[in-house]
Structures are given as C-alpha cells and as structure tokens.
Chain A
C-alpha cells in the first residue's frame, strides 16, 4: 500500500472494518448478480458489473456527509450502496420490482433519491456531468457547503459534456469533484486507442483545475485523495478531477458478444484485487482471519436475503407508470 497521509491516518479500526465490509458488500452483490444472471435466470436490468472497481466508490464515498450529493455513472453500484441504498432495494430495482427505487419506472443504476442525495445518471454516457456542475452551482448560489461527486469512466471523458462541464465548473469555481473510474477500456476500445494522452487527469490542466491520477484499487488512497478534494471544494477552492486507475474483471455488460481483453491482462489486474490488498493490509494491522470471515459470512447472508427479497417482491401496478411525469401541486 502506498504512503497514506492525514485523512487515511485518522481512520479508526472500526472504520477499517467498515471499509472492509463495504468492499465485501459491493463485491458479493456484483458476483451474486452475475451468478444469478447466468445460472438462474437473466436479470431484467442488464448487469454492468463493477467487480474489481470496488475501491473507487467505497473509498470516495466513505468520508462524505449525508448532505453531499453523488451522481453515479452506470457502473458505480458501490456509490449507491455506500450512500444508503440497501442491497435488497438496489437488487429489487434491477428486477424491475415495485420495491426498487423509482418503483420500476427506471432501472436501478439510473435511479435517483432526494432522501439519499443521489441524482439520477443518464443512459447516455457522460450526459450527467453538466448536472454535477449544476448541483454544485446551487450549493454556491445558496451559500451551502455540500459538495457534489460525479462519477464517470475513461470513455465518457471524450464526450462534449465532459469538456463543457469541467470548463464551466472551473470558470465558476464550483464545489464539484469529477471522479473518473479509468478501467482502461471503454466498451471495446482501450484507452490507448481512444485517447492519446496517458492519463485522463491531464485534461484537468486544460481547464485550470487540479487533476490527480491515483491507484484506484487502493481504497485508502482513494479515500485520502477524495477527502482532500472534498475539503478543498468545501472551502471554496473549486473543482478537481480525480482519476482512479482500476480495472473491471468482467465484460462491459453481461450480454457482450465478445470481450476484447486478453486473459493475461485480466489475470494481471486480478492480482491487484482491491479487496485482497485490503485484506492483506488489515491482517498486517492484526485483524484476524476469523473477523474477516465473519464479515464475509454476514455480508453473504445479507446478499442472499436481498435475492429472496427481489424474487418475492411484487411488480409495480400499471398506474405507477403514469406518475412522476409532471410535478403536480405547488
């Protein structure tokens, strides 16, 4: 693990176990969905799995306040779970059940919640970035000090929305942190082919904002860097771009006809598994295997319960789809 500075050092033992549990929840959730989708029956919401990228969402969300706002991308399952969407609600939403967020009106990975300060992402890659600037604009205008985190992938950083949003946020000095989950691949196009620069974070300089490239599989580094950026934004220093180098173990979606990546590449990244690395770190801090195993078992039980909940939950009534088109009332 890298040298961690102030923020990470202030984490307690309990924090560490919490972080471990969060990582395990995301991992177990994703793998359970994968297994269900291929072995039992296809999950209605086509899974876009984040297995391997858990450290980014867990590390970045851990230090946020409840009034901070996140805007996830299509693969940031962890952020939903971190912000308080329970695994069963998140999963039921994937099944299109009435017990998911939005009661079946939208998928689980594009759902929003005012209570949990999650703004819906869009099915159009990258379109949510200007929204992040907007939410941050509200904070600044109304003189509130909540921050906004916007997640996106390396592929999205080539969209016009990315450039306009970053420039806009920088010019107006908005309290928004752009977090790029650079998992080395857009759908079938590797970063080496879809851009000429080595690091997405280099683009931050074009807009006059700080850009950081970090090990996205080191949950403490992610936590640390995010907290730094968050505190800067809260202070009024404006936006940052954090690029987390990471990797997804599975294809873009669980229905991809092909995966262009080599077995070797996937294996080499599996060696850098964020959870394995964190386990090693915890064991180094004298956390026992038994404790870790207990957490794993507890998480497994929670995810199994989520499956049962999702299977047994009812589908929404038809009149549900007529709601929330307009806001009726004052």
Chain B
C-alpha cells in the first residue's frame, strides 16, 4: 500500500488542474517525480511543490494500492480523481469542479463541499461528499446525452441543479435537499433524495427511478399518478413507508418511476382538495 499525502502550502486564485495526477498515473511516482512535476495553472504550469508538500510512503504495484490524502482547502483544485480506475482519494477540505469525474473505480471522499460536475460521467467506483455539491452532480457533460453509467455517489449535504442529469446507470443518494430538475433526461439507474426537492424532478426521463422522501415542490405535467404503493422494492432495495407512484415522462413516452413520500406530499394526490385534507386520508385513497 502506498500513501501519498498532499499538504497544502498555499492556495491559488487560479485553479490548479489535477487531471494528470490521478491514481492511475501516479502510483509509481516517488517524491522526486513529484518534485519534477509542473501542474497546469490556467494557461501556465508551475512546480507542484510550490503548492503542496508531498510525502510518499510505501510501494504500490497498481492504482488500487494507492491512497491519496489531500489536506487543505482544495476549493481551487479541479479534476481531483479524474478518470481514476482504482485506489482511494481522501480530501480533507473542499473540492473544486469535476471531482471524481469520469472515474471508473476506486473511492473518493470529500470531507467538505464540492463544486459543480462532481462525479460527472462516472462509470464505476464510489464518490462520497460529506458536504454540499453544486450543479450537475453525477450528470453528463453539458450537451452530452450519456451521464453516469455506473458506480455510486453519496451526498451527505444538499445537491444543486440537475443532479443526475442523463443518468444511464449507477445510483445517486442525496441525504439533504435537491434543487430543480434532478434526474432530467435519465434513462436508467436510481436517484434517492432524503430531503426536499425544489421542482420538476425527472423531466424527460425515459426510465430509471427517483425516490423522494421529503417534500416535493412542483411536479411536471408529464408524470401520471399510478396510486399509492407501500414498502416498494426498487432496484433490489425496499423503501419502507407509503409512496405516491408516478410514471413518466409521457412527453417522451417514458416509463420511468417517480416515488414521492405520501405523508409529506398529500397535496399531490389527485383526490386531494384544499381545506378538506382531513377527509382525504391515505387509507381512503
């Protein structure tokens, strides 16, 4: 096992780009190799040792045997864990854009917040963010129609707009709230949101499932109410409780599943009428 520790010396107002420093590329590197390396900063390159004190301990024969520990505020370090296929990356601080983007294996942990495009187009591995994320978490690149195809993303805080856009596999679990258009264009996979959802989850989804445990703001017209289901089993996992099940988006002849917690979203029931919510109970439905 090899441990590579990046202790931050100074931050940069222009972002450092770490796409070359994924575990696949650096598992054989020594401290001397790092000393020679220049990191892209804007349109220039500077010695990485200007920004980090790098310590290498142990040996590794493959990326799977590497543990990268980054201590400090990585709020201006982009592409951490980009395209990695194995190993571990622990970021003790915030992370900038594209953390864990296009990774195919391994584990990335952000003990802080992450900027937009976290876990973009992942195909495997696990990305865990202890804080919040911005837009396009677990999404596709802008304009692209294939997003995350595999792996697991866990956000312990809130997620920004268009989380899980074009999801074509894998799973995303947001423990906090989620902004608009979660799971837009998704065709496969699962998005679970523990908190509240602002508006329009699942727009133009063709397949896959979205489970919302909190309160949903507004639903798109393209979702057809299927009734209430109890303890549904979705992608091999049982979700205890009662959920209103929708299918959609019918605008695209979609067959996706949208499950929203029935207790928190009684106003969404078609039989609900304002001022009479005592009368319409879940049992009556």
A is bound by B? no
Which residues of B are in contact with A by a Cβ distance under 8 Å? none
Which residues of A are in contact with B by a Cβ distance under 8 Å? none
